[in-house]
Structure 1
């Protein structure tokens, strides 16, 4: 007979595996529906929700919580696909503004409901103490996996955000 601790370990590993599978399945669903990754979709969503539909790469990287070099690789792919454009700022020639195109807007609107948006809706329905407990538990899991110092943004994906893996 297994010890209660062994059973709990199995339950935790199964829950982690389910989370990873759900994330992987969403990646495939999104790619099939729109041809973009979750990180690329997030860039398009951020541009689509801006009042003037533009943003600088630096501001985008800061908002996503990832390195500017990573954002540049994502931007390159989106620009090559005609989903966004780079334009020199009229007020500061050193600055580049990103603008979403009609193709990019259509992609945002055709995308299936993002996994992180499903999570946010469910999280918002939780009591404050439940939210705090969940955050603490997830932070503990990240620590147990030596993942505290990894570059991460609020985009649920099983793929790396770096261009070298795309």
Structure 2
């Protein structure tokens, strides 16, 4: 097997693991990974948080976050409320139903990864980061939105819609 074939196989395995996690998450909770990520971010701000702050914290575009927030609000998992201090500011908060869903959600896929990654020597961590950044560049992927939670399904659907 050629080296590039080994690399592509490893990438497909990562994508597959991400896809399986996404399906498990959706089956267990009815949530997608971006929805879970946004719920966690809103829950972490007991005094409320704005959609733009959520987008910045999870490194997704404001438009993507806004669409996900719309769906979460329709499902009564989060609540939008206009600030009494600044009427231009809309604050997000978790509903009781949202808190229940969050409680039932499995741990994020990357938690085990983070523990294993941090156990590596600094030079090895740097080498892996550099290699993945180079792979992203070789795949022309630097401009794509990326969240801290690994999730493939919505990205694949997004790409399909853009190419249709």
Query: What is the TM-score with the length of structure 1 in the denominator?
Result: 0.89
Cα pair distance change 1:163/1:134, threshold 3 Å: closer
Aligned length: 159
* Residue matched to 1:38: 33
Match of 1:122 among 116, 121, 128: 116
In structure 2, the residue matched to 1:70 is 64
Distance in 2 between residues matched to 1:131 and 1:50, nearest whole Å: 31
Indicate yes or no: 2:45 matched with 1:50: yes
Compared CA separation, residues 131 and 152, structure 1 to 2 (3 A) = same
What's the counterpart of residue 98 of structure 1? 92
Check if 1:16 corresponds to 2:17: no
* Root-mean-square deviation over aligned CA pairs: 1.8
1:161 CA drift (Å): 5.7
TM-score between both structures, scaled by the size of structure 2 = 0.90
Aligned partner (choices 73, 76, 90) of residue 82 of structure 1 = 76
Partner secondary structure for residue 154 of structure 2:
coil
Unaligned runs of 5+ in 1: none
2:46–2:93 Cα contact (<8 Å) kept: no
Give yes or no for contact 2:34–2:149 (8 Å, CA) kept in 1: yes
Which ranges of 4 or more aligned residues in structure 1 deviate by more than 4 Å? 161-165
Q: Deviations over 1:78-122 (max 9, x none)?
A: 011111000010110111000011111111111112112222222
Q: Name stretches of at least 5 consecutive residues in structure 2 with no aligned partner.
A: none
